[in-house]
Amino acid sequence: MAKALLTRFREEMGDLSVVGMVRYVAERAGTRVTEMNPVATRRTDPEHLRDPDFHAAAFRYREERLLGSVARRLKDRLDDGMDPFQAFNECQDHLVALGRAHGERLEVEAFQRAVARAPSPGASELLRDLSALHALSRMEADRGWFLEAGYVDPPKSRAIRREAAALAAELREVAVAAVDAWGIPDAVLAAPDALGD
């Protein structure tokens, strides 16, 4: 997925060489990260932690920052004369992280669009809570990155974990019905509780 991101930029720029493409990506990503001005708020109240704007901004920031840093790593290697294939291999861990971040940003945005298109207020509320749980769970799973990047501080990281657990507890009663509504076959579900009637 990360290679596809870099390839897309290459296609947008025409027949640039790989070196030119990486330079373009580094400049573009650096500018976008700077423009985003990611001031890490210290708010830990449930209203903020469940806010879809907070989720969208966090996932966009992570993707843009990873894109900028991997582009710089690639550019440094290419500037030193390294073969592009070898440069990609040396940055593979970073590229995998970028691909995952890109996919998770797309998931969060798709979930938020589904909330906006919900057919009823009840469905909208349920989808909003599920979307928040998904976003907070993914942030919790990668909390080390968000902490190291300074996007959240330790109290906010703990608050994200607590809020994800609170949302999961709130949604426990409707979990089976929500899964059934998506029509996921029982054979696909791994959790024994998910197989209940």
Question: pLDDT averaged over the chain?
Answer: 83
CB 18 within 8 A of CB 85: no
Q: CA-CA distance, 24 to 84, in Å (whole number)?
A: 15
Residues 149-170: pLDDT tens digits?
A: 989 999 999 999 999 999 999 9
pTM of the model: 0.77
Asked if residue 188 belongs to a domain, the reply is no
Q: How many domains does the chain have?
A: 1
78-137: pLDDT as tens digits: 989 999 889 989 999 999 999 999 999 999 999 999 999 999 998 899 999 999 999 999
Domain membership of residue 162 (yes or no) is yes
The answer to whether residue 194 is domain-embedded is no
Confidence band, pLDDT 50/70/90 cuts, at residue 184: confident
Quote the CA–CA distance of 99 and 39 in Å, as a whole number: 24
Mean pLDDT of 28-35: 48
CATH number, position 155: 1.20.140.10
For 136-147, what is the mean pLDDT? 96
Distances in Å between the Cα of 61 and the Cα atoms of 1, 33, 81, 185 are: 17, 7, 30, 35
Helix axes 154-171, 121-141, angle to 10 degrees: 140
- Cα 64 to Cα 103: distance, rounded to the nearest angstrom: 13
Q: Is residue 53 part of a domain?
A: yes
Is 97 within the bounds of a domain? Answer: yes
Q: Is residue 142 part of a domain?
A: yes
Residue 183 pLDDT: 84
Both tokens of residue 197? 């009637």
The answer to whether residue 17 is domain-embedded is yes
> Is 196 within the bounds of a domain?
no
Sorting pLDDT into bands at 50, 70 and 90, what band is 144?
Answer: very high
- 38-91 pLDDT, tens digit per residue, is 444 678 999 999 999 999 999 999 999 999 899 889 989 998 999 988 998 999
* Token digits of residue 109: 């945005």
**Residue 82 pLDDT:** 92
Q: What's the domain range around 113? A: 2-180
Report pLDDT for 178. Answer: 82
